[in-house]
Structure 1
């Protein structure tokens, strides 16, 4: 019976040590994380592009500042 208690305690200690090692506890060296895949840059529709809207606004204005 004592053997079973020692075995359970040993398993608990090993589990706690492994969990502490994963978190990079005191003195622990963390394994480098895998780089996350970058999201693909989606094209911006013209009506969502602020630069396009500014240019369009500039083109539709007259020299005196009133709308065309």
Structure 2
């Protein structure tokens, strides 16, 4: 029984070390051509700002 526990412990430590220091896979590498979300896109934000100003939202209520 003690040998079984030692084997499981050794395998667990081996897997953890492999995950920590092993070869990186493709899923860890950054993707080329990252898609920009609308709230991060400067052109989109500029267009919203222009729309808001043309709508008269920035003016104080009368």
TM-score when normalising by structure 1: 0.45
Higher helix residue share: 2
TM-score when normalising by structure 2: 0.49
Greater C-alpha radius of gyration: 1
